[in-house]
Amino acid sequence: MHIQRLLLSLAMAVSTVVGAQTMSTMDAFNAGKLSGDQSHTQGMFNNINTTSGTNNVSGFSTTPPSQSSYWGGQNTILNNLYTGGSGKIAECQGGTSSTNLADQQHCQAVNAIMSTNANMPSNLITNSDPLVLQGKVVTANPESIAGAIDGNYSNCTTSTKPSNPDFTMQTCDDWSKNEAQSCTMGQEVTVDPDFIYRCSETLSTINNGTCSYGAVVQVSTSYNYQCTKSPYEEKIYNCNRTSSITVAPGTTPAYQAYSLGGRWDIPYGRLPNENRSYAISTTMSINPSTYSGSVAFAYRTYFCHSYFDVYVYDPSGAQIGYKRFTGCDTTTTGYVNFPATTSGTYRVHEVAFGGCTGCDATKTYYATFDVAVTPPTYAVTWADGCATLESRAAP
């Protein structure tokens, strides 16, 4: 190693300095030939000595290294290389436990090198292979074999095989209408006014006692009972009692509408501002007379993969409307219709997606509506034509 370093240093020291002048082809050839003659070569060898090695080679020493550094001992370089290589082969054969992609690719390369000899394909085709022998026969007499096929080979036939019919899957949706129903729960009790109800008999009592039910009538067997005479004249008169009812209808709230928000943009990472999709405006309205409402959503899209999802929730928090708005380079207004049967605060939640990671945003609006209808009122007026007859009736 130290001799090689010395030669390199001396070669650098005696290198010929070439001037800036232009040389002809013949002059360059002669200069090269002259630099390699015996006198110049001998001069280079004469300059290879301990003094020039000490002056030009860093770490130069005339003391050779210990043989144990190369052929034995704990510091043997080759043994360390062999041990490291064997360890890497064993590690990669069992599959590396590292999740680093570079370590996994390194093991794939090690396994590919070790499996080269084992997976080397054998020579499957030999000179005695039927393919080689048949090829030689055809080559020796091509007319008798290949030429006989023309016009004389009749084993080929034309067959028609029907293709499979096209398969089409069709689906349909069926549903049943939910309607509110009513029923009566519990037990209906009918009371007979002519029946004398009594307590249930008790089989065992602690104290003796008596009780009476209904009216107690004392009858004397010696008394001559007679009906009391009450002479009355009975006449039948007819009278009319009429009534008039005045109904004042209830009051329905007027049509109500609110402008909930203006423009808001979708963040687009590295895309320019002029290519961002954005919401233009959101308006919410309710018609109490039809118990229905609508959200008008105006928007602008530039890319086909951009979209807006609009959700509507009633005062109880239940979702009552939803629609997705899409488009390719579109400026338009869409609508989300929903039922509005309850007074209170309604919520509109908008979700926007621009088509890339981080290109999404949300917006939430609130609006309070009154859809309660004032119930109608009734006024009843009686025309009593029976008051005179009732005053004449017997008490």
| pLDDT tens-place string over residues 60-119 | 788 776 655 555 444 455 556 666 778 888 888 877 878 888 888 888 888 888 887 667
pLDDT number for residue 34: 77
CA 160/CA 219 separation, integer angstroms: 119
pLDDT number for residue 293: 93
Q: What angle do CA 54, 58, 63 make, to 5 degrees?
A: 60
Do the strands 241-248 and 307-313 form a parallel or antiparallel pair, or are they unpaired? unpaired
CA 318/CA 194 separation, integer angstroms: 57
Q: Largest Cα–Cα distance of the chain, in whole Å?
A: 187
* pLDDT tier at 333, thresholds 50, 70, 90: very high
Residues found in the chain:
395
For residue 224, pLDDT beyond 50: yes
Question: What is the SS3 string spanning 157-183?
Answer: CCCCCCCCCCCCCCCCCCCCCCCCCCC
DSSP-derived secondary structure letter, 11: H
pLDDT number for residue 2: 38
Q: How confident is the model over 375-381, as a mean pLDDT?
A: 82
Do the strands 264-265 and 344-353 form a parallel or antiparallel pair, or are they unpaired? unpaired
Mean of the per-residue pLDDT values for the chain? 76
For residue 16, pLDDT beyond 80: no
pTM of the model: 0.36
Maximum mean pLDDT: which of 166-180, 247-261, 279-293, 349-363 = 279-293
185-197 confidence digits (pLDDT tens): 667 777 777 777 7
The answer to whether 316 touches 341, Cβ cutoff 8 Å, is no
- The full DSSP string for 358-395 is T-EEEEEEEEEE--PPPPPEEEEEEEES-HHHHHHS--
Domains (range + CATH), the chain: 2-15+24-56 (no CATH), 256-369 (2.60.40.2550)
Q: Of the ranges 7-21, 141-155, 228-242, which one carries the lowest mean pLDDT score?
A: 7-21
CA 159/CA 154 separation, integer angstroms: 14
Q: How confident is the model over 155-184, as a mean pLDDT?
A: 72
CA 81/CA 86 separation, integer angstroms: 9
Q: How confident is the model over 138-153, as a mean pLDDT?
A: 64
The answer to whether 306 touches 266, Cβ cutoff 8 Å, is yes
Sign of the four-CA dihedral 79, 81, 86, 90: positive
pLDDT number for residue 230: 67
Burial of 256 (0-12, 13-18, 19+ CB in 10 A): middle
Cβ count within 10 A of residue 377: 10
The answer to whether 321 touches 285, Cβ cutoff 8 Å, is no
Q: Of the ranges 9-13, 25-29, 344-348, 359-363, which one carries the lowest mean pLDDT score?
A: 9-13
pLDDT number for residue 7: 37
CA 362/CA 303 separation, integer angstroms: 19
DSSP-derived secondary structure letter, 147: G
Query: Side-chain half-sphere of 248: how many Cα atoms within 13 Å?
Result: 6
CA 15/CA 4 separation, integer angstroms: 16
Q: How confident is the model over 331-343, as a mean pLDDT?
A: 92
The answer to whether 371 touches 340, Cβ cutoff 8 Å, is yes
DSSP-derived secondary structure letter, 126: -
Residues near 332 by beta carbon (within 8 Å), at least 6 away in sequence: 298, 299
Residues near 347 by beta carbon (within 8 Å), at least 6 away in sequence: 312, 313, 317, 364, 365, 366
CA 197/CA 7 separation, integer angstroms: 139
Who wins on pLDDT, 156 or 62?
Answer: 62
CA 214/CA 313 separation, integer angstroms: 65
Helix (H) or strand (E) holding 118: none
Residues near 334 by beta carbon (within 8 Å), at least 6 away in sequence: 296, 297, 299, 310, 323, 325
Q: How confident is the model over 49-63, as a mean pLDDT?
A: 81
244-265 confidence digits (pLDDT tens): 888 887 788 889 999 998 888 8
For residue 9, pLDDT beyond 50: no
CA quadruple 160, 162, 163, 165: dihedral, nearest 10: 170
Q: How confident is the model over 226-241, as a mean pLDDT?
A: 73
The answer to whether 342 touches 315, Cβ cutoff 8 Å, is yes
